[in-house]
Structure 1
Protein backbone atom coordinates (compact mmCIF):
# COMPACT_ATOMS: atom_id res chain seq x y z
CA UNK A 1 0.00 0.00 0.00
CA UNK A 2 1.38 3.43 -0.98
CA UNK A 3 1.65 5.66 2.07
CA UNK A 4 1.70 9.45 2.14
CA UNK A 5 2.35 11.95 4.88
CA UNK A 6 0.06 14.82 4.00
CA UNK A 7 -2.26 17.56 5.23
CA UNK A 8 -5.93 16.91 5.98
CA UNK A 9 -7.97 20.10 6.08
CA UNK A 10 -10.25 21.03 8.94
CA UNK A 11 -11.65 24.30 10.22
CA UNK A 12 -14.46 26.42 8.87
CA UNK A 13 -14.70 28.64 5.81
CA UNK A 14 -11.76 31.03 5.52
CA UNK A 15 -10.32 29.67 8.80
CA UNK A 16 -8.15 26.72 7.71
CA UNK A 17 -6.61 24.28 10.14
CA UNK A 18 -4.71 21.23 9.00
CA UNK A 19 -3.82 17.89 10.55
CA UNK A 20 -0.61 16.20 9.47
CA UNK A 21 -1.55 12.59 8.86
CA UNK A 22 -0.14 9.34 7.54
CA UNK A 23 -2.66 7.96 5.07
CA UNK A 24 -3.06 5.60 2.17
CA UNK A 25 -2.50 7.59 -1.01
CA UNK A 26 -5.77 6.27 -2.48
CA UNK A 27 -7.88 7.81 0.30
CA UNK A 28 -9.44 11.28 -0.09
CA UNK A 29 -7.68 14.33 1.34
CA UNK A 30 -9.94 14.65 4.39
CA UNK A 31 -10.90 10.99 4.45
CA UNK A 32 -9.63 7.97 6.32
CA UNK A 33 -6.09 8.10 7.69
CA UNK A 34 -3.94 5.72 9.66
CA UNK A 35 -2.33 8.03 12.20
CA UNK A 36 -2.40 11.71 13.11
CA UNK A 37 1.17 13.00 13.31
CA UNK A 38 0.68 16.68 14.11
CA UNK A 39 -1.08 19.94 13.27
CA UNK A 40 -0.51 23.00 11.11
CA UNK A 41 -2.26 26.33 11.66
CA UNK A 42 -1.49 28.76 8.79
CA UNK A 43 -3.30 31.62 10.54
CA UNK A 44 -0.57 31.95 13.16
CA UNK A 45 2.55 34.05 12.48
CA UNK A 46 5.45 32.25 10.81
CA UNK A 47 7.69 32.56 13.86
CA UNK A 48 5.11 31.06 16.23
CA UNK A 49 5.95 27.72 17.84
CA UNK A 50 2.33 26.60 17.60
CA UNK A 51 2.14 27.05 13.82
CA UNK A 52 3.53 23.57 13.11
CA UNK A 53 3.46 20.83 15.73
CA UNK A 54 4.73 17.36 14.81
CA UNK A 55 5.47 14.11 16.57
CA UNK A 56 8.93 13.80 15.00
CA UNK A 57 9.50 10.24 16.21
CA UNK A 58 6.36 8.97 14.50
CA UNK A 59 7.17 10.93 11.34
CA UNK A 60 10.60 9.27 11.28
CA UNK A 61 8.91 5.89 11.75
CA UNK A 62 6.61 6.42 8.77
CA UNK A 63 9.48 7.69 6.62
CA UNK A 64 11.44 4.51 7.37
CA UNK A 65 8.34 2.49 6.48
CA UNK A 66 8.41 4.11 3.03
CA UNK A 67 5.80 6.86 3.38
CA UNK A 68 6.31 9.72 0.92
CA UNK A 69 5.81 13.29 2.23
CA UNK A 70 3.96 15.77 0.05
CA UNK A 71 5.83 18.91 -1.08
CA UNK A 72 4.42 21.10 1.70
CA UNK A 73 5.14 18.50 4.38
CA UNK A 74 8.62 17.99 2.98
CA UNK A 75 9.33 21.71 3.41
CA UNK A 76 8.05 21.57 6.99
CA UNK A 77 10.27 18.56 7.72
CA UNK A 78 13.27 20.36 6.21
CA UNK A 79 12.60 23.40 8.41
CA UNK A 80 12.36 21.12 11.46
CA UNK A 81 15.64 19.43 10.52
CA UNK A 82 14.08 15.97 10.19
CA UNK A 83 15.22 15.45 6.60
CA UNK A 84 18.02 17.05 4.64
CA UNK A 85 17.22 20.04 2.49
CA UNK A 86 16.64 19.20 -1.16
CA UNK A 87 17.87 21.55 -3.86
CA UNK A 88 15.10 22.65 -6.15
CA UNK A 89 15.64 24.02 -9.61
CA UNK A 90 12.91 25.73 -11.57
CA UNK A 91 14.67 28.02 -14.06
CA UNK A 92 11.44 28.94 -15.83
CA UNK A 93 9.79 30.25 -12.65
CA UNK A 94 11.23 33.75 -12.92
CA UNK A 95 10.85 33.95 -16.69
CA UNK A 96 7.88 36.08 -17.81
CA UNK A 97 5.14 34.58 -19.94
CA UNK A 98 4.68 35.14 -23.67
CA UNK A 99 2.15 37.97 -23.28
CA UNK A 100 4.41 39.80 -20.83
CA UNK A 101 7.33 39.43 -23.23
CA UNK A 102 5.19 40.87 -26.07
CA UNK A 103 4.12 43.84 -23.91
CA UNK A 104 7.73 44.52 -22.92
CA UNK A 105 8.79 44.42 -26.59
CA UNK A 106 5.98 46.85 -27.55
CA UNK A 107 7.02 49.23 -24.76
CA UNK A 108 10.65 49.07 -25.90
CA UNK A 109 9.61 49.77 -29.51
CA UNK A 110 7.48 52.77 -28.45
CA UNK A 111 10.29 54.13 -26.30
CA UNK A 112 12.78 53.81 -29.18
CA UNK A 113 10.36 55.54 -31.58
CA UNK A 114 9.76 58.33 -29.07
CA UNK A 115 13.50 58.80 -28.59
CA UNK A 116 14.03 59.01 -32.36
CA UNK A 117 11.14 61.48 -32.72
CA UNK A 118 12.55 63.63 -29.92
CA UNK A 119 16.04 63.60 -31.44
CA UNK A 120 14.93 64.38 -35.02
CA UNK A 121 13.07 67.70 -34.39
CA UNK A 122 15.85 68.94 -32.13
CA UNK A 123 18.35 68.57 -34.97
CA UNK A 124 16.11 70.00 -37.70
CA UNK A 125 15.73 73.57 -36.35
CA UNK A 126 19.43 73.81 -35.64
CA UNK A 127 20.26 73.05 -39.28
CA UNK A 128 17.63 75.32 -40.88
CA UNK A 129 18.34 79.07 -40.58
CA UNK A 130 15.60 81.06 -38.95
CA UNK A 131 13.82 83.42 -41.35
CA UNK A 132 13.27 86.96 -40.26
CA UNK A 133 10.12 88.66 -41.27
CA UNK A 134 9.97 92.40 -41.87
CA UNK A 135 6.74 94.11 -41.33
Structure 2
Protein backbone atom coordinates (compact mmCIF):
# COMPACT_ATOMS: atom_id res chain seq x y z
CA UNK A 1 0.00 0.00 0.00
CA UNK A 2 1.16 3.52 -0.79
CA UNK A 3 0.85 6.37 1.71
CA UNK A 4 1.31 10.11 1.58
CA UNK A 5 3.21 11.07 4.71
CA UNK A 6 5.89 13.30 6.21
CA UNK A 7 9.61 12.53 6.04
CA UNK A 8 11.70 14.44 8.57
CA UNK A 9 14.68 16.50 7.58
CA UNK A 10 16.46 19.50 9.01
CA UNK A 11 18.74 19.52 12.01
CA UNK A 12 18.47 18.72 15.68
CA UNK A 13 15.77 20.91 17.27
CA UNK A 14 15.06 22.45 13.80
CA UNK A 15 12.58 20.11 12.09
CA UNK A 16 11.66 20.35 8.42
CA UNK A 17 9.37 17.86 6.73
CA UNK A 18 8.94 16.75 3.13
CA UNK A 19 5.49 15.56 2.08
CA UNK A 20 6.27 12.33 0.22
CA UNK A 21 4.59 9.38 -1.43
CA UNK A 22 6.11 6.19 -0.05
CA UNK A 23 5.41 2.52 0.41
CA UNK A 24 3.83 1.94 3.80
CA UNK A 25 6.57 -0.56 4.71
CA UNK A 26 9.44 1.86 3.99
CA UNK A 27 11.24 3.67 6.81
CA UNK A 28 10.00 7.14 7.76
CA UNK A 29 12.96 8.94 6.18
CA UNK A 30 13.82 6.14 3.78
CA UNK A 31 13.00 5.45 0.18
CA UNK A 32 10.15 7.47 -1.31
CA UNK A 33 8.40 7.41 -4.66
CA UNK A 34 7.81 11.13 -5.14
CA UNK A 35 8.11 14.38 -3.20
CA UNK A 36 4.91 16.44 -3.25
CA UNK A 37 5.89 19.44 -1.14
CA UNK A 38 7.16 20.48 2.25
CA UNK A 39 6.09 21.61 5.71
CA UNK A 40 8.22 23.97 7.79
CA UNK A 41 6.78 24.21 11.33
CA UNK A 42 9.32 26.88 12.32
CA UNK A 43 8.74 29.22 9.35
CA UNK A 44 9.19 32.90 10.16
CA UNK A 45 8.56 36.10 8.27
CA UNK A 46 8.02 35.67 4.55
CA UNK A 47 8.94 31.99 4.49
CA UNK A 48 6.31 29.51 3.31
CA UNK A 49 5.09 27.27 6.10
CA UNK A 50 3.49 24.77 3.74
CA UNK A 51 3.73 24.07 0.03
CA UNK A 52 1.97 21.27 -1.84
CA UNK A 53 1.65 20.16 -5.47
CA UNK A 54 -2.12 19.63 -5.53
CA UNK A 55 -2.20 18.09 -9.03
CA UNK A 56 0.19 15.32 -8.02
CA UNK A 57 -1.54 14.88 -4.64
CA UNK A 58 -4.89 14.36 -6.41
CA UNK A 59 -3.23 11.95 -8.86
CA UNK A 60 -1.84 9.79 -6.05
CA UNK A 61 -5.14 9.83 -4.16
CA UNK A 62 -6.88 8.61 -7.33
CA UNK A 63 -4.30 5.83 -7.53
CA UNK A 64 -5.32 4.70 -4.03
CA UNK A 65 -2.68 6.35 -1.83
CA UNK A 66 -3.81 6.90 1.76
CA UNK A 67 -3.10 10.13 3.66
CA UNK A 68 -1.74 9.99 7.19
CA UNK A 69 -3.66 11.91 9.85
CA UNK A 70 -1.03 14.67 10.00
CA UNK A 71 -1.04 15.13 6.24
CA UNK A 72 -4.86 15.30 6.29
CA UNK A 73 -4.73 18.13 8.83
CA UNK A 74 -2.02 19.93 6.81
CA UNK A 75 -4.13 19.61 3.67
CA UNK A 76 -7.07 21.17 5.51
CA UNK A 77 -4.80 24.02 6.68
CA UNK A 78 -3.47 24.51 3.13
CA UNK A 79 -7.00 24.78 1.72
CA UNK A 80 -7.85 27.43 4.35
CA UNK A 81 -4.73 29.40 3.39
CA UNK A 82 -5.62 29.23 -0.31
CA UNK A 83 -9.20 30.42 0.26
CA UNK A 84 -7.94 33.29 2.44
CA UNK A 85 -5.49 34.36 -0.29
CA UNK A 86 -8.22 34.31 -2.94
CA UNK A 87 -10.50 36.50 -0.81
CA UNK A 88 -7.77 39.10 -0.29
Range of TM-score over shorter length: 0.7 to 0.9
Mark the runs of 5 or more structure 2 residues left unpaired by the alignment.
80-88
Give TM-score scaled by structure 2 length. Answer: 0.83
Shift of 1:13: 0.3
Counterparts of 1:50-61 in structure 2, within 5 Å, are: 50-61=48-59
Count of matched residue positions in the alignment of Structure 1 and Structure 2: 79
> Could you tell me the TM-score, scaled by structure 1's length?
0.55
**Rg larger for:** 1
CA contact (8 A) 2:50 2:78 kept: no
User: For the aligned residues, what is the CA RMSD?
Assistant: 1.6
Determine whether 1:29 maps to 2:47: no
CA offset at residue 40 of structure 1?
A: 0.5
Higher RCO, 1 vs 2 (CA within 8 Å, ≥6 residues apart): 2
Q: Aligned pair 1:14/2:13, yes or no?
A: yes
4+ residue stretches of structure 1 with deviation over 6 A? none
Name the structure where helix makes up a greater proportion of residues: 1
1:64-104 Cα offsets, whole Å, 9 max, x none, are 111011111001112233xxxxxxxxxxxxxxxxxxxxxxx
